[in-house]
Amino acid sequence: MARNGIGSSGGKKNGAGQFFLATLLLWLVSVVFEIAFNLRTELLWVICGGCFFQLMNWVVRSWISRDPIFVNTSVSLLHSIITSASVVFILLNQCLAKGLDEMFDHSELVGGTWKWAYPALCFSCGYFAYDQWDMLQYRLYSGLIPSILVHHLVLLVCFTLALYRNVTINYLILTLICEMHSIFLHVRKLRRMAGIRDSNTALVKLEWVLNWTAFVFARCIPHILITIKLIKDAHKFGKGVELPLALSGMAGMNILNVGLGLDLFHAFRRERSHRRNQENGNLHDHGE
């Protein structure tokens, strides 16, 4: 998703940062407790994910750039690529093994776990913990209640509860299809940071086509279909927290998608306006 830059209070410690740091530490203690005392060794993939992306952070910072926003965005791009490839692999593997009807059966989505789905979800969970830490460490957020930190906290809570209880793993894997769109968001940000801003170039035009295509088919439509599926199968859920948590999580994602779509539209319109101004300026120069 799109990242906020360093806000006006970027260099100052504030209550929001301390609160989210405390919740991150509590989350870490909880995961370590599950691994060490409840012998949930499968959760080691969470630790592996966090350590891997922290290592990639160090590599980018040491060899490419020390700009915290560039480093954070580069590692986020890597996560989006890895997660997208993992999700596509898992879905294709299951489609070939079981077929679409059995794959998307309610009992399979809620109580089952597709092959490789659990470690893939753990790995992404580790990434979100790393990313939360990186943003807190370098103050890559702004506002009294930073939306990006809230987003990460909600994801960590939802993912971790699902991993602890081993339920709705497959549903959560489906939500990660949106990482295919996040690839183009991160590419656009890195491209602009590299100074490539000429919207007349074929590369930038292609990027926008892919960005909008992925936004519709990899983010909006999958999340809407997941929401419809949850509502349709609501009567099949038990009396636990799974359904309320899933519905509230998907409602939040759909709301974020609307906001992201508006941000994309405004950015697209700004670039087109800038291109028109450049063309008008060139015509004026030639007229003289």
User: What are the tens digits of pLDDT across the range 213-244?
Assistant: 999 999 999 999 999 999 999 999 988 888 99
Q: Per the domain annotation, does 7 fall within a domain?
A: no
Q: Per the domain annotation, does 6 fall within a domain?
A: no
Q: Per the domain annotation, does 8 fall within a domain?
A: no
Query: What backbone phi and psi angles, to 5 degrees, belong to 211?
Result: -60, -50
Question: Is the pLDDT confidence value at 10 over 80?
Answer: no
Q: Which of 174, 254, 266, 179 is nearest to 214 (CA)?
A: 179
Residues 56-74: tens digit of each pLDDT: 999 999 999 999 999 999 9
Residues 242-281: tens digit of each pLDDT: 899 899 989 989 998 999 999 999 999 888 786 666 655 5
Query: What is the spatial distance between Cα 252 and Cα 142, in angstroms, rounded to a whole number?
Result: 20
Q: Per the domain annotation, does 2 fall within a domain?
A: no
Query: What is the spatial distance between Cα 72 and Cα 155, in angstroms, rounded to a whole number?
Result: 18
Total domain count, the chain:
1
Alpha carbon 13 to chain centroid distance?
Answer: 26
Question: Is the pLDDT confidence value at 288 over 60?
Answer: no
Q: Per the domain annotation, does 20 fall within a domain?
A: yes
Q: Which residues of 206-238 are buried (b: 16+ CB within 10 A; e: fewer)?
A: ebbebbbebbeebbbebbeebbebbeeeeeebe
pLDDT for 213: 97
The contacts of residue 166 (CB under 8 Å, 6+ apart) are: 113, 118
In the chain, what percentage of residues exceed pLDDT 70?
A: 90
Structure tokens at 181: 């769109």
Q: Per the domain annotation, does 191 fall within a domain?
A: yes
Question: Is the pLDDT confidence value at 208 over 70?
Answer: yes
Model confidence band, residue 284 (pLDDT cutoffs 50, 70, 90): low
Q: Which amino acid is at 284?
A: H
Q: For residue 31, what are the domain limits?
A: 16-282
Residues 130-174: tens digit of each pLDDT: 999 999 999 999 888 888 999 999 999 999 999 999 999 999 999
Neighbour tally for 244: CB within 10 Å: 10
Q: Are 46 and 129 in contact (CB under 8 A)?
A: yes
Concatenate the DSSP letters of all residues of 144-191 into one string. SS-HHHHHHHHHHHHHHHHHHHT-SHHHHHHHGGGHHHHHHHHHHHHH
pTM: 0.89
Q: Per the domain annotation, does 287 fall within a domain?
A: no
Q: Per the domain annotation, does 54 fall within a domain?
A: yes
pLDDT for 66: 95
